[in-house]
Copies of this chain bind each other. A is one copy, B any other.
């Protein structure tokens, strides 16, 4: 028994959107321990949809469709499924009235094309959509085959999955033995260097250990098969501990941990506060820090000093240092950090000034050059130079800058100033 995710939408084939639904559903299936070996993306095309159905219904027993349930003429998923199993579509009164009610509530009139969403194959159950007008279906068109359909809008799909699909699947006896994974996250070490350090673990079968790099972050996934999470954790823990020991400070957290949440926890434990001063990241570091709720325990705020005027007037950076060393320099980074620390009276302060590109680079100061300043509780300050590489994209350089600033603070918090 295995599931297969089938995402329908020409916008996916044209690359207009990222397939975030496939990722989210994959995580859910892994959590339920429902094996899942294939994902397919196909366009809003009735013939190719049926070809995919023909293949998928042979190799998988649960087909999870997302997309193509909308009100517009190019939404064809339901129609294609009904056609493939030669079952007529039937308008469902309860869906019609539900759609009408939803439009009324938002003081809008139902448009004719919304009625299309009330058609489901005969014999299919309605998979209710509390957040939207397009319901899905749960249907067994034949022995050992279950089809679930969801709209492409992530928030609608997720709620439908959690409220209706999960209980249904468990009820069918699926998701009994679980696969539970822990994702170990590292910073400051390359993928193959880490792989070399821990390669002995790659031969294990339960738990399994698998490495990969993701967005400038190196990760190891430790996965165990077990009857429940407690048993799985007991299998994972000893291996995870040995890996953490081998990685030392380069290991920073696991699973939902982010550099921001880890630094936040350390600050909370220490009862210390943080402020930031940002130039090229323009608020990205602050946004990263406040990405996890509860940041108000330690994050006071900061200043986006995008222009030199603001660096001078708000952070007390000396006009001279800008003229002598340039806005992108260790000296300016340091005085930005000291400036915001003093202004917001925090224990720690981080600053970022750099050249994120695509323009603005020079022979001597290339795109990707970033200085990060860290001001410490004892009012000592350090400036660190980073060269993220001219070939990198602006957004990635800005992202790496914020991560590196947080990692710098993390190491200081761990080893003491």
Contacts and interface: CB of A to CB of B under 8 A. Distances in A.
Given A24-B15, A287-B283, A306 B300 contact: yes
Interface in A387-417: 391-396, 398
A40 interface: yes
Contact of A212 (B152, B221, B309): B152
A262 interface: no
Given A38-B40, A48-B37, A221-B16, A392 B291 contact: no
Given A214-B16, A282-B286, A306 B310 contact: no
Contact of A306 (B20, B301, B360): B301
Interface stretch (A89-97, A194-202, A372-380): A194-202
Contacts of A131: 391
Interface stretch (A70-78, A140-148, A228-236): A70-78
Contact of A199 (B113, B285, B394): B113
Interface string A25-54: 111111000001111111111001001100
Interface string A52-86: 10010001000000000011111000000000000
Interface residues of A, number: 113
A48 B2 CA distance: 13
Contacts of A16: 27, 183, 212, 214, 219, 221
A183 B15 CA distance: 12
Interface in A258-314: 276, 278, 280-287, 289-291, 293-296, 299-307, 309-310, 314
Contacts of A29: 15
A193 B111 contact: yes
Contacts of A70: 191-192, 212
A211 interface: yes
A22 interface: yes
Number of copies of this kind of chain in the complex: 2
A402 to B, nearest CB: 9
A72 B360 contact: no
Contacts of A319: none
A296 B153 CA distance: 35
Nearest to A106: B190
A356 interface: yes
A159 interface: yes
Given A70-B212, A133-B192, 11 more contacts: A14-B30, A15-B25, A16-B219, A16-B221, A37-B42, A38-B52, A159-B391, A284-B286, A286-B306, A293-B356, A300-B310
Interface of A: 9-20, 22-30, 36-45, 48, 51-52, 55, 59, 70-74, 108, 111-114, 131, 133, 152-153, 155, 159, 181, 183, 190-193, 195-196, 199, 202, 210-214, 219, 221, 223, 276, 278, 280-287, 289-291, 293-296, 299-307, 309-310, 314, 343-344, 356-360, 391-396, 398
29 contacts: A15-B23, A15-B25, A15-B26, A16-B219, A17-B214, A38-B41, A39-B40, A40-B40, A40-B41, A44-B210, A71-B191, A71-B195, A72-B191, A72-B202, A72-B210, A131-B391, A155-B393, A278-B286, A280-B290, A282-B283, A282-B287, A282-B301, A283-B287, A287-B398, A291-B394, A291-B395, A293-B357, A294-B359, A299-B306
